[in-house]
Every structure is written in C-alpha cells, then in structure tokens.
Amino acid sequence: MKLPLADSDIRQTVTALIDGAPVRGGGAEIPVFYPATGGRVATLIEDGAADIDRAVAAARRAFDHGPWPHLGVEERQDRLCRFSEVIEDNIPLLAGLECFDTGKPMRDLLTRYLKRTAHCFRFFADYIGQSSGVVYDQVKGYRTVVAREPIGVAALLAPWNSPISLGSMKVAAALAFGNTCVLKPSEQTPMALVRLVELLHEAGLPEGAVNVVNGRGPVTGAALVAHPDVDLISFTGGTETGRAIMAAAARNLIPCMTELGGKSANIVFASADLDQALDGALLGIYTNAGQQCLAGSRILVERPVFDAFVARFAERAERIRIGDPTDDATEMGPVASEAHMKHVLSYAGLAREEGGRLVAGGVRDESLGNGYFVRPTAVVAPSNDTRVAQEEIFGPFATFLPFDGVEEAVAIANGTDFGLMSYVWSDHLPTVNAVVPRLRSGGIMVNATMMRDLRAPFGGFKESGVGREGGEACERFYTHEKFVSTRLAPGPLRQLGAA
Ligand code: NAD
C-alpha cells in the first residue's frame, strides 16, 4: 500500500501549538495510526490541565490585548482571504496528512474536502463584508443601534470523521467574527489540523489567536470545556459527548452549540427516478465509508420497488472499489480505527440476531492486509425498532426498511431519536410536498445527495444537536448583541428630589 506522503513531510511527534509555537504537553503519549495499513505514523503528546491553562491564557491575551478582535472588518477580510490562499497552496500536503489521519481517499481530499476548507475562509471573509448592525428609530427622540461584538475565547472541539473540514469551519467562523480560540482535534486525527494552524501563522495569524491542544476527550477535552476562562463552546461529535459538553457549558453559563449524531432517512418513493435514487443511496451511505453524521443510513424504499431496489443496491455495493486511499481508482477507504472497525462489524452479527437479512458485506476485507477495511454492508431490517435501524453505526452500513405510502414513510423517517438530515427521492411533486414539511430534521435534500450551502443553517433536531452552523447562524453564535440608545436632542428629564 502506498503512503500519501513521504516520512519527511510528517512530524513524528504531534504537540500542542500555543502562541504560534509548538509546546510539548505533560501528558501521555498516544499513537496515531494510518487506517489503511494499521501502521503507526506519529505520536501525539497529550495535554493536561496545566497545558490547557497555558493555551486558554494565550487565547485570552490575544483577545484582550492582541490585534485580532480590533482589526477593521476589511483588514480581517484580507487576512481570511490570505488564509484561504495558503490552504489552496498547500492542498497536497494537507490532503496527505488528512489521509494519514483518516484513510479518506486522496482523490476526494484533493478534489473536494481541501478545496472546501479553503473556500470556507473566503466564505466568511465575504460574509462579514456584507453584514451590518440594525437601527431602530421608532421611539421618537431616540435612535437605537444594535451592534455585534466578538464574545471572547472559543473552545472548538472536532471529531475524527472529517477533521479538517469540520475543525477548520469552526476556526474560520470564530476568527471571522473577531474571537480567539483553542482548538482540540480528535486524538485520533490531529495531524492535518495542527499543520493547518501552523500555516495560518505563516500567513499572518497573530500569536494566540488560534491555539491547539491535543489529547483524549475525557482528559484534554473535558479540561478545556470546563475552563473558567472559556467564553463559548462549539462542539461536533457524538451525542453522549454532547450531553457532557452542554453540562459543562451550563455550569459556567456560557453559550454552547452542538452538532451531534444522526440516523438519517433516505426515502425512495416508487415515483422516483430509481436510477438516480440508487446512485444517491449508495453515495449517501458509502461516501467517507459511512463515517458521516449526515449519512443516509436508513434507506426507506416504497414496497412495490423494494426488492428490485435492494437487489440492485447490493450488487453495486459489492462492486465498490475499496482499498489504497492513494489510488485514484479507490472509491472507499478504510474506517478510521481498529476499534471502530470492530464496532461497525459487530452490527452485522447483531442484524442477524435481530432477524435482519444481510444482503451485502458484513465482513472485514482480509485481502487488504492490516488496514481497517469493512466491506460495504447492507441489511434489510425487520422493523424500524431494531438496533440496526435506531443506533448510529457510523460506518459503511446501510439499513433497509420497506414502507407503504406517505404516512408510513413519514412515521418511519421520524421514528428515531436523531433528526439531522432527510433525503427524499420522488418525481411526483405532491408526494414531495406532502412529505417535506412533516420531516423532523434540520435539513432535507430533495432528489439530491448532500450539498452543503454554507449560507444555510446546518444542524439537528432532537438528539442531533442544539444550534446551527452557517453564515448567519455563526454570526449569531460567535457574537454578542449590544444595543446603544442615544437621545437625539437634550430635553428635560424627570427630576427626582427636585420639588
Ligand atoms: P466524540 O464525541 O467521541 O469526540 C468528538 C470530540 O470531542 C473529540 O475531539 C473528542 O476527543 C472530544 N471529547 C470526547 N469526550 C469528551 C468529553 N467528555 N469532554 C470533552 N471533549 C470530549 O465523537 P467522534 O467519535 O470523534 O465523532 C463521531 C461522532 O461525531 C458521530 O456521532 C457523528 O455523528 C458526530 N458528527 C456530527 C456532525 C454534525 O455536524 N452533526 C459532524 C461530524 C460528526
């Protein structure tokens, strides 16, 4: 198996980055593995409470005394655009590191994820150039101006499934609205994000504006979110972790947004273009080996076309080219870790125990050496009440359920604790119009696979999270509103004690 980068391109030791300089924390050494080979590629040095103190203090200094929050908007825009350019210029390096971290196919990283990361900084640069405060002048004699100001030090926590896109979006948004931050990547996937923040410094990011700490969630993450000098928290990760994060935010009474898990319904009506729906269903669950919060992991198919659709899906799933992430022909890479591979595979056994029918995969691909390769898997579940239909498996694992008509489609789609995305496939407009308003999810794609418009608020209903990310949504989250009411002309005031 080829490696995405030469050894000389990667740092063997991954440390914190505080005030723009590497700082070796005082905690445990944690191995970082390349999921495609199972080989160790780097060692992460865990940061403990004292290291978190330093990182938060650096961000605090940068906020209270540094230039970043006080830059004029146009200057901040220029810097964000420069950050975008430096990311563009380093796409092969960052893609290689992200591939080492995650095993994602290089082709996807080069053509989509990294371009998106660069675009995100430009997007927020554009956004802040257009947004403005509000003036109220309805009360006679007064003018009230509502302005927005940065909040302070943001704690940003990213998961392992798409570290660079998800982590960098938080960094771009926090910076765009004038905050400083401490970023904690997942301990499994720190390399690309740390390098990205180093590149931002090379491109003119002031010291302390973005600091990085590394380590496991219950150690480094928990210390960061509980830190009394953190002013807001943005978290993307699992639902159970989300509860702990929100509890920590509640203790310090600070704003917190959480983007959590999903078990999204991909609803295929008989009235759909079934070829397109098939392509969409395969992309919806096997992109990034199913390790996407927004994966269409429950595939609901109308009964008259159910058997034929499942058969075609299974046949295509078995033909998906999995293997070396550096090979342009590879369509699906490994899952992110050995433990996660075992977790995903355990659901194949569970599906059988629950009376499900395995129609594709369900096994590790032993032909690919020690990499964490799970064959694209699909099961037909006996009901939506089974664990394979309810639990987020977060791997290349599709769960099929049949339905009859709009009512049942809606009931099954909404019959989950999650509510992140839904996908609807039908060429019959009244069917689409009947279903869409009733789906309890933060986003709905109609006759399309996921397309993330950064302007639109992204986030979940129910246990998929609290809060949204997007242009305006981030402006609301990363800024305080402040009103200033001015009396337009002097006049008599009520005079207490004057009589
Ligand atoms: P996770 O919750 O285990 O970890 C996410 C981050 O939080 C990591 O940096 C981790 O180290 C840290 N963390 C873990 N426990 C912590 C604690 N007690 N206190 C503070 N920090 C802690 O999630 P994961 O396994 O890295 O990612 C997979 C999950 O993320 C899936 O459930 C997936 O659906 C979700 N996800 C959601 C979105 C979304 O936008 N809704 C996007 C991507 C992933």
pLDDT tens per residue across span 195-214: 999 999 999 999 999 999 99
User: Do residues 206 and 67 make contact, with C-beta atoms less than 8 angstroms apart?
Assistant: yes
Closest C-alpha to ligand 1, atom 18: 218
Which region holds residue 43: left if phi is over 0, alpha if psi is between -120 and 50, else beta?
A: beta
The whole-angstrom separation of Cα 261 and Cα 283 is 18
Contacts of 75 (CB under 8 A, 6+ apart): none
User: Do residues 421 and 442 make contact, with C-beta atoms less than 8 angstroms apart?
Assistant: yes
Q: Outline which parts of the chain fall under CATH 3.40.605.10.
A: 7-260+464-483
Contact residues of ligand 1, CB 6 A cut-off: 157-161, 166, 184, 186-187, 216-218, 221-222, 225, 236-238, 241, 244-245, 259-262, 293, 392, 394, 420, 460, 464-465
Whether the per-residue pLDDT at 358 is higher than 90: the answer is yes
Structure tokens at 244: 């702990």
The whole-angstrom separation of Cα 85 and Cα 28 is 35
User: Do residues 108 and 126 make contact, with C-beta atoms less than 8 angstroms apart?
Assistant: no
Structure tokens at 141: 């004699």
130 exposure class (CB count in 10 Å sphere: 0-12, 13-18, 19+): exposed
Angle ∠(156,176,198) on CA atoms, nearest 5:
60
Q: 3-state DSSP: the chain helix, strand, coil percent, rounded to 5?
A: 45, 20, 35
CATH of domain 7-260+464-483: 3.40.605.10
Closest C-alpha to ligand 1, atom 31: 238
The whole-angstrom separation of Cα 132 and Cα 146 is 9
pLDDT digits (tens, 9 = 90+) for 20-38: 999 999 999 999 999 999 9
Q: Residue 488 gets which letter from DSSP?
A: S
Q: Which atom of ligand 1 approaches the CA of 239 most closely? A: 32
User: Do residues 410 and 435 make contact, with C-beta atoms less than 8 angstroms apart?
Assistant: yes
Whether the per-residue pLDDT at 256 is higher than 90: the answer is yes
Closest C-alpha to ligand 1, atom 26: 159
pLDDT digits (tens, 9 = 90+) for 150-173: 999 999 999 999 999 999 999 999
pLDDT digits (tens, 9 = 90+) for 242-251: 999 999 999 9
Q: Looking at residues 133-149, what average pLDDT do you find?
A: 97
**Is the domain covering 265-446 a CATH 3.40.309.10 domain?**
yes
Amino acid at 286: Y
343 exposure class (CB count in 10 Å sphere: 0-12, 13-18, 19+): middle
Q: Looking at residues 471-495, what average pLDDT do you find?
A: 97
Q: Is the pTM of this model over 0.95?
A: yes
Residue 483: strand pairing partners: 146
Which residues are the active-site residues? 259, 293
User: Do residues 294 and 265 make contact, with C-beta atoms less than 8 angstroms apart?
Assistant: no
Whether the per-residue pLDDT at 7 is higher than 90: the answer is no
Out of 101, 168, 186, mutate this one to test ligand 1's pocket (max ligand atoms within 8 Å of CB): namely 186
Out of 171, 194, 241, mutate this one to test ligand 1's pocket (max ligand atoms within 8 Å of CB): namely 241
Q: Outline which parts of the chain fall under CATH 3.40.309.10.
A: 265-446
Angle ∠(262,265,266) on CA atoms, nearest 5:
130
Give the distance (Å) from ligand 1 centre to CA of residue 157: 8
Give the distance (Å) from ligand 1 centre to CA of residue 488: 51
The whole-angstrom separation of Cα 338 and Cα 140 is 67
pLDDT digits (tens, 9 = 90+) for 426-441: 999 999 999 999 999 9
